[in-house]
Structure 1
Amino acid sequence: MPEPRPYYSDKGLSAAFYDLITAQDASLAGDVELYASLAPAGGSVLELGTGTGRVAFALAEKGLSVLGLDIAPSMLAQAQTKHALRGPDLAARIRFRRGDMTALQLDESFDLVICPFFGLAHLPAGAAWRNVFTGVAGALKPGGKAAFHLPRAESLAGPAPPRERAVLQVSVDDAGRRLSIFVHERKAKAAIGRFDQVVDYVLTDARGREERRSRERLTYYVADPRPFAEAAGLRLEGAPTPLGGVGEVHVFAKP
């Protein structure tokens, strides 16, 4: 089989079925409410790693104005498609833009910056994290807050399940097609905070025959975000908030 694709690549299945998969993920329960509680009523939000707009649309429904930034064209295309189908009042509160969170160049500031669902953990915890926090500090209004959802190392370091056992199976459509997800490989380098996983996404028809398969690599980097935030001039706001049993939301404020 060819080398694994990166997660969320144009030709992979993780991006194509992102909304379906995240809808089954109990570890994300309550994240939208948490982020909304950090912004003033009618405030402005910058979402880093917006993906298909799952959080952005939900925040806009709560009256917030959201700019969603993502580097993956396949994810942004889905967000834009959904945006075109929304009513004018809601659509007016949401914008999407392609961009790199390690090189923020924005001509506006925000009440809240968020990076949900382990978005920062996709990047090595070094210069990339320093650049992200520097950019976030520059994008925040005085008194504004920033929230980063990061995984806990112990939730990533466990042994991989048997390769033949699906970790998720979900119906795709009324024709009986199903998507199954299998963990092919899992490696942990806890000493440097790097956790690699290779996952097989398998799409089958109603009779169980394979239609398409995509092997994809997902890498997470785990580190304490506080030194990076403090170096950028941000202040920690209390203890991290546990979310879903596998991660925590770290909140910082700009003086």
Structure 2
Amino acid sequence: MGDDDGYFGEDVAAEYDRSEAEMFRPGAVDPAVDLLAGLAGDGAALELGVGTGRIALPLAARGVPVHGVDLSRAMVARLRAKPGGEEVGVTIGDFATTRVAGEFAVVYLVFNTIGNLTTQDAQVDCFRTAAAHLRPGGCFVVEVGVPELRRLPPGQSAVPFRIGDSGWAFDTFDTVTQAMSSHYVTIVGGRARHRSIPFRYVWPAELDLMARLAGLRLRERWEDWTRAPFTGESGAHVSVWAKPAG
């Protein structure tokens, strides 16, 4: 893995679409693209953490001009190799602070990517960066899980989220610092390989405060891209903050 690619270098990029195949199925992609296309309207969209283009490519295929920001050249190379990849402009850089030319109707972060920013300061910077790119009345959209701390009994710091014959995956949490890591153990030929990716978990109310610091206000919050109601039992949320139109 190259240092310039952060935690998403060649070894991760080469397997990403296969390892996250469930997130590439139409049932996971189409509702997100529908909502984002509706918010974009006649404007352009900016994806922070564009990766291999899971959302950017089908959104661009709907006729929405899409630009992406990503630190990983290896992930972006996969996007470029796909049909329509040349239609999505990409800037290589830290999506918390990187600025690109143009004004956007919608800026978005999907699939827990806000957590890849591992400090509160970086997450606050990300909201400010999103707001700076939005046209008046534009929206910043974030899809992220609700921290699963209710699943932690006293003395436990790990929560499994994938278990199978070829390996398993689990998250670990530090409830003091809000630091967490996703750990992946893969079994190949009877030997285990381990990798981990750090995150910072963040609560919906904390995100709302970050939005207010950036001059945005919460407009909608749903459980998922189908606009199911967000409740105390929801495991994730899709939140929409708007920039004042005036």
Query: Which residue in 1 is equivalent to 2:74?
Result: 74
Distance 1:243 1:220, change over 3 A: farther
| 1:59 CA displacement | 0.3
Distance in 2, Cα, partners of 1:33 & 1:110: 17
Structure 1, gaps ≥5 residues long: 1-5, 170-179
Q: How does 1:207-222 map to 2 (within 5 A)?
A: 209=189, 214-222=193-201
TM-score (structure 1 length as normaliser) = 0.76
Distance 1:107 1:243, change over 3 A: same
1:231 aligns with 2:210: no
Q: What percent identity do the matched residue pairs reach?
A: 26
| 1:125 CA displacement | 4.2
Distance in 1, Cα, partners of 2:54 & 2:182: 24
1:167 aligns with 2:163: yes
The 10-residue stretch of structure 1 (139-148 or 98-107) with the greater mean CA deviation from structure 2: 98-107
| 1:111 CA displacement | 0.7
Query: Which residue in 1 is equivalent to 2:239?
Result: 250
Query: Which residue in 2 is equivalent to 1:146?
Result: 140
Poorly superposed stretches of 4+, deviation over 6 Å = none
| 1:28 CA displacement | 4.0
Query: Which residue in 2 is equivalent to 1:21?
Result: 19
User: Paired residues, what number?
Assistant: 221
Distance in 2, Cα, partners of 1:116 & 1:214: 27
C-alpha distance after superposition, 1:75-128 (max 9, x if no partner):
11111111xx43xxx844x21221211212222111100011111111134210
Query: Which residue in 2 is equivalent to 1:115?
Result: 109
Q: Using CA pairs below 8 Å that are at least 6 residues apart, which structure has the higher relative contact order? A: 1
Distance in 2, Cα, partners of 1:149 & 1:55: 12
Distance in 2, Cα, partners of 1:252 & 1:242: 15
Structure 2, gaps ≥5 residues long: 1-5, 153-157, 226-233
Distance 1:230 1:187, change over 3 A: same
TM-score (structure 2 length as normaliser) = 0.78
CA radius of gyration, larger in: 1
Query: Which residue in 2 is equivalent to 1:35?
Result: 36
1:192 aligns with 2:193: no
